[in-house]
């Protein structure tokens, strides 16, 4: 009977998809055009237009470096397989454009091309390219209503931010989603100056290959000799050797290496530079458990708030999602953590579609879209706030204590510390399993494997007698001394489940397939973790070596979290100095890590202090 039910549901899904496919093809036609920019560069653009001429239709556009394939006016993208079919039913003109220098567009591609607020004559940037594209569309696509929206996820999220900065009068609504915002501080390829080598190499070894002329054929990837990523990066050794695999052909990978500190080159590529004087309605979207661009959504929204005081509509939605999960069919879980409902569908139907319908069609109601619409994991519920972080949150230090304790009380002991030896030859893995690609589930993975290592410090509270809800940025405030001149610090905030928790105790942890059950009793759920390269403790622009044996403060911000530690759980903090191969290995000597040799790598004895004079803590934004 169960199998029959599953077959029925699957059959209905297939039938619905087939009906949507037929309906869209019967009610739309597709054209492809080159749009000329102000400096005479042609940008390839794919356009799906309603056949209905009884009314005028809004335009919804995505600009992408990832291709608007399939190419050819007879080859259609399978819009009907995602929630975007709803935009077709609403009669939107759907537009996708290859950005300058990518795929079928002409011109020279530049990664995260800097925004130029003072363009003159035929000078261009991504904002001007968007302006020119919108201008052409509203003047040349029949039966459009003169209103345009832009959205995109990840790199297309960056182009959405740039689109908003174009301020074309027809552009009414923009939704940057997981937008690439700053690749040195918090997105994709660096976190607090530490090089996220696995993502950078996997991405640029294919994406970064030169494309001398327009093409419909994508680049090939790197041929790894092993599918054990820990083995590959450890045996590769230095970043100098890693770069050697790619040669001199991949320009931006070389740029990453040539700008080890937060210099003017990086600052020019901060997308927050484009968040001043924004005229369109803005809906920023991010995933709390996004392994790639978690930082960008929160901080671009914050910049837009600060740079546009009194702006009527500048809102944010952040759900319990991996990168782009809000655009998928299933927002019900991430790895072993279940959310009790399809959060992706809720977002699509209650946030994104109403947002564009209201501003582009004058239809519906947006009163349900609060200033900050945030999902609280653990509690498994959406909350609406008038500001972010919420006004009701209070920053409370949770102090590290002797004997692996955590307490709200400041320690009173003298000269108390915990210590470990960080060995670059045996770095702490970021996940327990052997794998090839970087996982997206590590953001909520069980941390028991790491807690068992001697080079990971573990601190935990007593069992909570009341729930603790945290909403906002966590601050790591670490007092440390090291035996070398540099080190990384990885701080993890963890929810420790009760030892006696079983699947059938709480339905949200119930996995329907008995063979896939995971032992949730004692589960150490990663809520948030972040790495900080110690040399930047005083300045990203001007790094400094440590003085061996000298106690110093390392204080840094972890991206916003929204989580409830339930009654009966514990709060845990883990501290370590490697997170491999997610993050490159710090040689623990103050050298240029991008050009150093194997001989520069050395062990470091690291002390974390927790006494009355030198007290270490994590400052939690506790919701009252």
Alpha-carbon torsion, ordered 335, 340, 341, 347, to 10 deg: -70
| For range 570-598, the mean pLDDT | 98
Please state whether beta strands 457-460 and 570-576 pair in parallel, antiparallel, or not at all (unpaired).
antiparallel
Residues 547 and 593 in one domain: yes
pLDDT for 517 beyond 90: no
In this prediction, residue 451 carries a pLDDT of 98
- CATH number, domain containing residue 258: 1.10.3020.10
**Nearest-CA neighbor of 142 among 74, 57, 60?**
57
Residues 376 and 505 in one domain: no
Picking from 385, 407, 442, the residue at the C-terminal end of a domain is 385
In this prediction, residue 528 carries a pLDDT of 98
Q: In terms of pLDDT, which residue wins out, 309 or 515?
A: 309
In this prediction, residue 13 carries a pLDDT of 52
Residues 201 and 85 in one domain: no
Q: 527 near 566, Cβ under 8 Å?
A: no
How far is 231 from 290, CA to CA, in rounded Å?
25
Grade residue 516 by pLDDT with cuts at 50, 70 and 90: low
| For range 327-336, the mean pLDDT | 94
Picking from 266, 290, 317, the residue at the C-terminal end of a domain is 266
Please state whether beta strands 552-565 and 617-623 pair in parallel, antiparallel, or not at all (unpaired).
unpaired
477: which 2 tokens? 């405030």
For 229-267, write each residue's pLDDT tens digit. Answer: 999 999 999 999 999 999 988 999 999 999 999 999 999
How far is 173 from 466, CA to CA, in rounded Å?
42
Half-sphere exposure of 17 (CA within 13 A, CB side): 11
Residues 261 and 274 in one domain: no
Burial tier of 76 (Cβ tally within 10 Å: 0-12, 13-18, 19+)? middle
Picking from 368, 385, 402, the residue at the C-terminal end of a domain is 385
Residues 419 and 559 in one domain: yes
Grade residue 311 by pLDDT with cuts at 50, 70 and 90: confident
303 Cβ partners below 8 Å, 6+ apart?
Answer: 272, 275
| For range 207-218, the mean pLDDT | 96
**Nearest-CA neighbor of 154 among 296, 366, 344?**
296
The rounded percent of the chain whose pLDDT value lies above 70 is: 95
Token match 């937008």: residue? 179
Residues 412 and 309 in one domain: no
Residues 17 and 136 in one domain: yes
Residues 584 and 453 in one domain: yes
388 Cβ partners below 8 Å, 6+ apart?
Answer: 298, 301, 302, 316, 371, 372, 374, 472, 560
pLDDT for 6 beyond 80: no
| For range 13-17, the mean pLDDT | 63
Residues 25 and 84 in one domain: yes
Grade residue 518 by pLDDT with cuts at 50, 70 and 90: confident
- CATH number, domain containing residue 313: 3.40.50.1820
How far is 167 from 546, CA to CA, in rounded Å?
47
Q: Could you give the 3-state DSSP secondary structure of residue 387?
A: coil
**Residue 121, domain extent:** 2-182+269-385
Burial tier of 513 (Cβ tally within 10 Å: 0-12, 13-18, 19+)? exposed
- Distance set, CA 573 to CA 104, 122, 253, 450, 618 (Å): 49, 53, 34, 12, 8
DSSP 559: E
Residues 305 and 284 in one domain: yes
Burial tier of 394 (Cβ tally within 10 Å: 0-12, 13-18, 19+)? exposed
- Count of domains forming the chain: 3
DSSP labels, 35-50: EE-TTS-EEEEEEEEE
| For range 201-216, the mean pLDDT | 97
Residues 91 and 169 in one domain: yes
The rounded percent of the chain whose pLDDT value lies above 90 is: 92
**Nearest-CA neighbor of 501 among 377, 336, 321?**
336
Grade residue 620 by pLDDT with cuts at 50, 70 and 90: very high
- CATH number, domain containing residue 562: 2.60.120.260
Residues 350 and 318 in one domain: yes
DSSP labels, 147-191: EEEEEEESHHHHHHHHHHHH--TTEEEEEEES----TTTTSTTEE
Sheet strands (E) in 353-487: 372-376, 381-385, 393-401, 405-407, 417-422, 457-460, 468-482
In this prediction, residue 515 carries a pLDDT of 53
Grade residue 405 by pLDDT with cuts at 50, 70 and 90: very high
Grade residue 14 by pLDDT with cuts at 50, 70 and 90: low
In this prediction, residue 96 carries a pLDDT of 98
Q: Mean pLDDT across the chain, nearest whole number?
A: 95
């Amino acid at each position: 009977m169960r199998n029959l039910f599953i077959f029925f549901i699957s059959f209905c899904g297939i039938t619905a998809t087939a009906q949507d496919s037929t309906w869209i093809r019967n009610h739309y036609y597709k054209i492809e055009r080159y749009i000329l920019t102000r400096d005479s560069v042609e940008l390839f653009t794919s356009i799906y237009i309603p056949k209905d001429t009884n009314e005028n239709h809004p335009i919804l556009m995505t600009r992408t470096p990832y291709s608007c394939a399939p190419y050819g006016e007879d080859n259609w993208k399978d819009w009907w397989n995602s929630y975007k079919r709803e935009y077709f039913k609403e009669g939107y003109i759907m537009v996708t454009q290859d950005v300058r220098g990518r795929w079928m567009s002409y011109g020279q591609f530049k990664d995260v091309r800097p925004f130029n607020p003072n363009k003159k004559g035929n000078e261009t940037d991504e904002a001007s390219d968007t302006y020119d594209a919108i201008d052409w569309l509203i003047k040349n696509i029949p039966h459009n209503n003169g209103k345009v929206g832009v959205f995109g996820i990840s790199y297309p999220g960056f182009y959405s931010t740039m689109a908003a900065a174009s301020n074309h009068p027809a552009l009414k609504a923009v939704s940057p989603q997981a937008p690439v915002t700053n690749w040195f501080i918090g997105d994709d390829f660096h976190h607090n100056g530490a090089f996220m080598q696995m993502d950078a190499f996997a991405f640029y070894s294919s994406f970064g290959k030169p494309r001398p002329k327009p093409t419909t054929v994508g680049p090939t990837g790197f041929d790894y000799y092993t599918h054990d990523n820990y083995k590959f990066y450890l045996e590769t050794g230095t970043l100098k050797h890693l770069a050697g695999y790619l040669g001199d052909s991949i320009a931006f990978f070389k740029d990453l290496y040539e700008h080890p500190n937060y210099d003017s080159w990086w600052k020019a590529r901060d997308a927050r530079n484009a968040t001043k004087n924004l005229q369109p309605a803005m809906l920023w979207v991010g995933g709390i458990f996004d392994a790639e661009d978690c930082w960008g959504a929160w901080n671009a929204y914050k910049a837009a708030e600060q740079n546009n005081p009194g702006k009527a509509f500048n809102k944010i939605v952040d759900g319990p999602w991996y990168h782009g999960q809000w655009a998928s069919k299933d927002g019900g879980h991430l790895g072993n953590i279940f959310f009790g409902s399809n959060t992706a569908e809720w977002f699509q139907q209650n946030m994104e579609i109403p947002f564009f319908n209201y501003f582009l069609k004058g239809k519906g109601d947006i009163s349900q879209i609060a200033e900050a619409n945030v999902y609280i994991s653990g509690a498994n519920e959406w909350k609406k706030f008038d500001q972010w972080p919420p006004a009701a949150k209070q920053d409370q230090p949770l102090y590290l204590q002797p004997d692996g304790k955590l307490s709200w009380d400041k320690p009173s002991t003298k000269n108390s510390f915990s210590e470990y030896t960080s060995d670059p030859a045996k770095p702490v893995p970021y996940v327990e399993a052997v794998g090839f690609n970087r996982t997206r589930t590590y953001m909520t993975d069980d941390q028991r494997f790491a807690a068992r290592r001697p080079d990971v410090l573990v601190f935990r509270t007593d069992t909570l007698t009341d729930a603790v809800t945290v909403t906002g940025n966590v601050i790591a405030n670490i007092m440390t001394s090291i035996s070398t001149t540099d080190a990384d610090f990885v701080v993890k905030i963890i929810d420790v489940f009760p030892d006696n928790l079983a699947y059938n105790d709480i339905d949200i942890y119930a996995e329907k397939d008995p063979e896939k059950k995971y032992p949730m009793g004692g589960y150490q759920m990663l809520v948030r973790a972040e790495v900080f390269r110690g040399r930047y403790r005083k300045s990203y622009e001007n790094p400094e070596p440590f003085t061996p044996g000298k106690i110093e403060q390392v204080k840094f911000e972890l991206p916003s979290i929204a989580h409830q530690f339930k009654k009966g759980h514990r709060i845990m903090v883990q501290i370590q100095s490697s997170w491999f191969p997610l993050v490159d290995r710090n040689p623990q000597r103050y050298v240029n890590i991008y050009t150093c040799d194997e001989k520069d790598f050395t062990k470091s004895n690291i002390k974390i202090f927790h006494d009355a004079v030198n007290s270490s803590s994590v400052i939690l934004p506790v919701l009252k």
